[in-house]
Amino acid sequence: MSLCRRQEEGDFWLTGETDGTKKIIIMSWIKSQMSLPVALGVLFVGLPYSICIVCQWFYGWPHKPGYKKYTEALKPRRIYYLTKALLDNVRYLQYWTLYLQMQSWYKNDENWKQCKKGIVFGRRGNELDLYHPPNMNKSEDVPAPLVVFLYGGAWGSGERSIYCLLAKQMAEELNATVICPDYSTYPKGNVLGMVQDIADCLVWARENGHKFNFDKDSIVLTGHSAGAHLCALTLLFLIDTREELFIETKKLQDVALSIKGVIGLSGVYNIVDHYEFEQKRAVEYVSSMHKAMNGVENFPYYSPTHVLKQVAQDKLSRMPPFALLHGTSDIIVPVESSTQFSELLTSSSVKASLYLLPGVNHVDIVTDLMLPNRHFYHPVFSCIKQEFRKLLGVS
């Protein structure tokens, strides 16, 4: 069939066909030729721009005056990297079945016979959940050691119920009482408020150890991501007896002495460096980090790496050991965050162990601790158990 062209009522036609059929075929051919670039334009331009505009509308525009914040937000580079970062998060939809399991377990009252849910603590009336080791006998004279687990969520999200399975498994694997507290995430609070909440939780633990049969003088702080950052920062504030915690000095000293160590999972320890990493991913304005820190000018104040350098040597000598775990496949918090902090701790005469876990990403390192059949459950827990025994001086 040959394609010919003539001016006939402004349409194309094909030889060997009726006029009506000619028009339909040619118009379909034109539409098919036009639909591809239109579809590509929508897919690679319209959709990314729409998604990024909505994202920045809800989570924050660039810090530029007037219309410049919109021109900055619509730069092709920012759109590309922000879209890539958002698409990277789509992979986390694979955890939806695990999320349903968490919610089902948490809402089942039968599961709370050996646990205690919704204990109020602290100046802001936050709540914590407490998990006993499964073989605990309340008549025993020897109380269990205590683990305080702090969840992550970029300082702007998270809740204790999501980590119920992790806390349950941790209590079993470590044969310890585990506390998982909520804290005032942004916008409810800033990072200083979060540190105060965690300090309040530790004060509560020291005052209630006898009631729940755990050892108030054997506490290990454990946290993931932003939670690991808060573990390190809270400990440093306690060691340095910071007035901004608004807790009497004697209590701060007692709490600091009761902490036997910190186990950090994929933590953020240098806020300045991490902000630069966020800028490379074009997520610095939609991230809640700089907002929770009250602006970039406060990054050093909230960075454990910076605070560590400011603590006096006599106080630094009382710092307990750190164990840092980080997955080599982490694209949310780069592995250098833990390696560099480990080097700084060691150079500051603070004992530090570092575990780099091949193939583990930012989410796996915590979600795979929730069920024994998860892929990285045993490799990660083996590291945690080894360090936990070392921190408590148990062979």
Whether the Cβ atoms of residue 304 and residue 352 lie closer than 8 Å to each other: no
At 251-261, the pLDDT tens digits run 999 999 999 99
At 13-63, the pLDDT tens digits run 444 456 667 667 666 655 555 565 655 444 445 566 676 666 766 667 677
Question: What CA–CA distance (Å, rounded) separates 62 from 276?
Answer: 15
- Name the region of 322 (left: φ>0; alpha: ψ -120 to 50; beta: rest): beta
Instruction: State how far the alpha carbon of 391 is from the alpha carbons of 215, 220, 230, 351, 380, in Å.
Output: 14, 8, 19, 10, 17
For 153, the 3-state DSSP assignment is coil
pLDDT at 46: 58
At 355-389, the pLDDT tens digits run 999 999 999 999 999 999 999 999 999 999 999 99
The answer on pLDDT for 302 being more than 90 is: yes
What mean pLDDT is predicted for residues 168-185?
97
The tokens describing 81, both together, are: 């990297």
The tokens describing 255, both together, are: 């709490």
List of residues 6+ apart from 184 with CB closer than 8 A: 124, 126, 193, 194, 197
Query: Between β-strands 11-14 and 352-357, what pairing exists: parallel, antiparallel or unpaired?
Result: unpaired
What mean pLDDT is predicted for residues 289-302?
95
pLDDT at 3: 41
What mean pLDDT is predicted for residues 85-92?
73
- Name the region of 294 (left: φ>0; alpha: ψ -120 to 50; beta: rest): left
The answer on pLDDT for 7 being more than 50 is: no
Taking CA 291 as the corner, what is the angle to CA 126 and CA 71, rounded to the nearest 5 degrees? 150
Determine what percent of the chain is predicted with pLDDT higher than 70.
82
At 222-239, the pLDDT tens digits run 999 999 999 999 999 999
pLDDT at 57: 66
pLDDT at 9: 43
What mean pLDDT is predicted for residues 108-128?
95
Question: What CA–CA distance (Å, rounded) separates 305 from 128?
Answer: 28
Question: What CA–CA distance (Å, rounded) separates 95 from 156?
Answer: 20
pLDDT at 130: 98
| Exposure of 224 in the CB half-sphere (CA atoms within 13 A) | 26
- In single-letter form, the type of residue at position 373 comes to N
Question: What CA–CA distance (Å, rounded) separates 232 from 212?
Answer: 26
Whether the Cβ atoms of residue 199 and residue 245 lie closer than 8 Å to each other: yes
pLDDT at 69: 72
Domain boundaries 97-392, corresponding CATH code: 3.40.50.1820
Instruction: Give the start-to-end residue ranges of the domains of the chain.
Output: 1-50, 97-392
pLDDT at 331: 93
pLDDT at 64: 73
Structure-model confidence comparison of residues 21 and 314, the more confident one: 314
